[in-house]
Amino acid sequence: METTRATLDVHPWKISTSTLDKTKRRLHESITSLGNGYMGMRGNFEEYYSADHHGGTYLAGVWYPDKTRVGWWKNGYPDYFGKVINAVNFIALDIFVNDTRVDLANCNYKDFYVELNMYDGILSRQFVVDLGNTQVKFSFERFISITKKELACITLQAEVLQGTAEIYVVSKLDSNVQNEDSNYGETFWQERNKEVSEKLSSLTTQTIENPFGIEQFVVTTSMTHNLKPKKIKKEPLFISNEFEFFLETGQTVRLEKEVLVITSRNVPEEKQIEQAQKLLQTYGTDFSTLKAEHSEAWHKRWELADVAITGDDKAQQGIRFNLFQLFSTYYGEDERLNIGPKGFTGEKYGGATYWDTEAFALPLYLALAEPSVPKNLLKYRYNQLPQAYYNADKQGLKGALYPMVTFNGIECHNEWEITFEEIHRNGAIAYAIYNYTNYTGDTSYLKKEGIEVLIAISRFWADRVHYSKRNKSYMIHGVTGPNEYENNVNNNWYTNKIASWVLQYTLDNYQKYEKEITISLPKMEQEKWQDIIDHMYFPVDEQLGIFVQHDTFLDKDLKTKDVLAKNELPLSQHWSWDRILRSCFIKQADVVQGLYFFGNHFSLEEKRRNFNFYEPMTLHESSLSASVHAILAAEIGEIDKALEMYERTARLDLDNYNNDTQDGLHITSMTGSWLAIVQGFAQMKTFDETLSFAPLLPKKWQSYAFHINYRHRLLFIKVSNEEVELHLNHGTPLTLEVYHKKYTLTDDLFVQTKNS
């Protein structure tokens, strides 16, 4: 199967196309998704569309625990899988013109155009329905408000270009929705209530019961329109307001639909309709005012977060697209939420939280959000510490094991090679505590909640290692490293490295802050941990000068990826799993991930040798891979490779590199393009509490510029061919390094680039 490219127009601020390609509908639906952290949806058409597509609306934190069903049950398997569930379709506006249903898969139309304006946060669409004597131009606009989280607004404008038209519009709230991967057509919603009035029509639904004692969510969706409906209909899990218009040539009608979505996560069922009415009054119903306020808030976000690239529109579009979709998924307003790998754009992965958050998302939120946002991400894990103890206990282990996939802290991934074996995830949770503390200089979390988490994770590692008498060292057997194209390996270098680092970091901080910490760590336990650190086994190959991915990696049939034919890629979609597991091909950064996290532990030469050995075998079939490689490539001076990796991460979804964007966007790896620019091209490092840059400029680019928050300061950095410009926009003077030379940034600083 050839990769299906998305073929959208290149523009610095817009994603658009004037072609409706039926074979790419799912892909374009993913790419034109909208969200506001509270709810979101794929870029579905408002009107009925009969050809292949995937209708999906999702509400943050609203999920269903689906029974894990496998015949070959093994002790330790999770009882349920946390499913992201498709929720009420509230954008629906079915349209009929002179009794012909408007369905772009079936009727004659022209001048199709769809546009996602990322600067304003607006999705719009137009087309002309051509019925021979009658031609009607339809224009839609919609947004999910980022200032009023429960609010979504949709407008439909119809203009008769020729003939006379009887236009009938059915505006719906429809909870007869299914998940794409439902077992036996299972649906997840049951009806609770329907209330219809001229002002506000509401549908209240509840998730079906579950046998696991997990909360059932109640959701009330209400709609109001700027015009009076001719008819109101109620059906099971469904209500509609219906409108009829008779228009002559040149006449126009505009229907505005305002939707409020309230869930039992915030408001109890009995108060939901009352709350919807209250919000309607407070928010008002003027579309253009609501839209202006929403767009203004996007402009403010861009002021801080934008990365401006000159000389490469594709690169520019890529980073803005990623930032847009990432912030549409999570902007840190609700500490109970996290960043799901598909956000509001698909159902594929289930769960809301992966190690992706700590490993890939946190650094971006550290630099682009208020310190409370990354702190909330840490607290989220602290609040789930009891569940992490439960997860470890379920595997017969001490301490805490954070889940690979979860909604509520309980592991819900049901593949043994991941649930039981991909334990490196536990290290990322600890690494995030280090990252936060080191970046912000704020030790308050570390000394209180953080140390508890660190001790709990360390206890897990201390129990999970075993001592090899033969080798006189501690080992970790039976794991899956970050490279999921191998399972059940022994001594995955990355896992061993992060495990011993966690033990060391915990000990260091316990000893440093012992007097201020409320929990105590027995001396014997400390000694045991030190012994593990001192005698941890790391597979290395002296001759090649590399860290070995795991004990037997070098015995594999080692080949580089250029032997693979184009039609074998992505391998995950063409090779049997057995063949993949035996091969040397690597899904994502593994040893290289360790070199990135612990960049200050290794020399440039070590980084270069390992990068050059592993990258040619790495397929980057996890979206998380390219960014880490971009950063390392830039550091070792491979600027072209870094750019290739940047493009792969920045345009992963826009160009559908892994042929899976139709299932949803790769939200958690969207931080990758930002990481690739800031930590890659600009070489921003914060190790040892020192901010440093060593910027490079890809040949194709004329310049790039971005802002970062750093320790109560706001910095602006611009890199051009000639110079690196640093500006302190806000805050007290700061000592930093540029190209390894110390400067004090008080206002402006200009340093000649290495490129010039």
Give min distance, CB of 344 to ligand BGC, in A. Answer: 15
Whether 570 and 621 have beta carbons less than 8 Å apart is answered as yes
d(CA 415, CA 223): 41
Find the part of the chain contacting ligand BGC (CB under 6 A) among 37-45, 182-190, 197-205, 350-358. 350-358
The least distance separating ligand BGC from the CB of residue 484, rounded to whole angstroms, comes to 4
> Is 344 an interacting residue with respect to ligand BGC (CB under 6 A)?
no
Residue span binding ligand BGC (CB under 6 A) among the ranges 289-297, 347-355, 650-658, 695-703: 347-355
From the list 47, 347, 421, 484, which residue makes contact with ligand BGC (rule: CB under 6 A)? 484
Q: Which is nearer to ligand BGC, 596 or 706 (CB)?
A: 596
Helix extents (H) in 568-684: 577-582, 591-597, 604-614, 625-635, 639-650, 671-675
Choose between 12 and 570: whose C-beta lies nearer to ligand BGC: 570
* Segment contacting ligand BGC by CB under 6 A, of 74-82, 151-159, 349-357, 627-635: 349-357
CB of 694 to ligand BGC, least distance (A): 28
Task: Report residue 522: phi and psi, to 5°.
Answer: -55, 145
**Pick 204 or 618: Cβ nearer ligand BGC:** 618
Angle 313-329/287-305 helices, nearest 10 degrees? 120
Smallest gap from Cβ 498 to ligand BGC, in A, equals 14
One DSSP character per residue, 95-122 reads EEETTEE--TTTS-EEEEEEEEETTTTE
- Report d(CA 541, CA 470) in Å as an integer: 19
Regarding 355 and contact with ligand BGC (CB under 6 A), the answer is yes
**Smallest distance from ligand BGC to CB 504, Å:** 24
Quote helix, strand, coil % in the chain, to nearest 5: 35, 25, 40
Give min distance, CB of 508 to ligand BGC, in A: 28
Cβ distance to ligand BGC smaller for residue 6 or 624 = 624
Among residues 409 and 695, whose Cβ is nearest to ligand BGC? 409
Using CB under 6 A as the binding criterion, the count of chain residues that bind ligand BGC stands at 12
Q: Show the binding pattern over residues 324-343: x = contacts ligand BGC (CB under 6 A), - = does not.
A: -----------------x--
The residue annotated as part of the active site, out of 484, 621, 635, 638, is: 484
| Smallest separation, CB 631 to ligand BGC (Å) | 17
CB 704 within 8 A of CB 308: yes
Phi, psi (degrees; rounded to nearest 5) at 196: -125, 130
Interface with ligand BGC (CB under 6 A), residue from 159, 356, 653, 655: 356
Cβ proximity of 77 and 419 under 8 Å:
yes
Compute the distance between CA of residue 218 and CA of residue 452 in angstroms, rounded to an integer.
Answer: 35
- Which positions from 152 to 171 touch ligand BGC by CB under 6 A, shown as an x/- string? --------------------
Which of 20, 624, 628, 717 touches ligand BGC by CB under 6 A? 624
- Closer to ligand BGC by CB, 283 or 355: give it: 355
CB 6 within 8 A of CB 661: yes
One character per residue 637-676, x = contact with ligand BGC (rule: CB under 6 A): -------------------------------x--------
SS (H, E, C) 335-404: CCCCCCCCCCCCCCCCCCECCHHHHHHHHHHHHHCCCHHHHHHHHHHHHCHHHHHHHHHHCCCCCCCCCC
Q: Which of the stretches 36-44, 163-171, 348-356, 503-511 binds ligand BGC when contact is defined by CB under 6 A? A: 348-356
- Residue 360 CB, nearest distance to ligand BGC (Å)? 9
484 noted as active-site residue: yes
Query: Judged by CB under 6 A, which stretch of 69-77, 353-361, 496-504, 506-514 contacts ligand BGC?
Result: 353-361
Q: State which residue, 330 or 355, has the beta carbon closest to ligand BGC.
A: 355
Separation of alpha carbons 668 and 658, rounded Å = 15
Contact 83, 179 (CB under 8 A): yes
Residue count of the chain: 756
Task: Yes or no: say if 743 and 735 are a contact pair by the CB < 8 Å rule.
Answer: yes
Confirm or reject binding of residue 622 to ligand BGC (CB under 6 A): yes
- Bridge partners (DSSP) of residue 94 are 170
Alpha-carbon span 429 to 366, nearest angstrom: 15
CB of 482 to ligand BGC, least distance (A): 6
Nearest to 584, CA basis, from 632, 611, 552:
552
User: Could you tell me if 388 and 404 are in contact, meaning their C-beta atoms sit under 8 angstroms apart?
Assistant: no
Task: For residues 521 and 500, give the distance between their C-alpha atoms in angstroms, rounded to a whole number.
Answer: 17
Active site residues: 484
Residues contributing to the site for ligand BGC (CB under 6 A): 341, 349, 354-356, 482, 484, 587-588, 622, 624, 668
